Amino acid sequence: MVRCPECAVEIDVDEDEVEEGEILNCPECEAELEVVQTHPVHLNVISEDDGDEDEEGEGGENDNGDLGEDALDDEEEDGE
């Protein structure tokens, strides 16, 4: 038996039947759990906030899709 790190409910996991990296779901809170150790079994909650949303604004564009001031300065220098 191992406890869910999110809600602490006991989960019946046989350490001989799981592998490191395997993904399980908690039957109580439905959290996705990764097996990070098998002897004894240790689970980590897989974060649902993986940071992809923060990376969308990167790449030289600002929030409204326009190029930043630095890019405009470069264009002006090329046109002179």
Rounded to two decimals, the pTM is 0.57
Got the DSSP string for 59-79? SSB-TTSPBPHHHHHHHHHHH
Q: What is the CA radius of gyration of the chain?
A: 23
Give the pLDDT of residue 57: 47
pLDDT tens digits for range 23-55:
999 999 999 999 999 999 999 999 865 454 444
pLDDT (0 to 100) of residue 54: 46
**Three-state SS for 47?**
coil
Percent of the chain predicted with pLDDT > 90: 55
**Which are the contacts of 26, defined by CB distance < 8 A and separation ≥ 6?**
4, 6, 7, 9, 11, 33
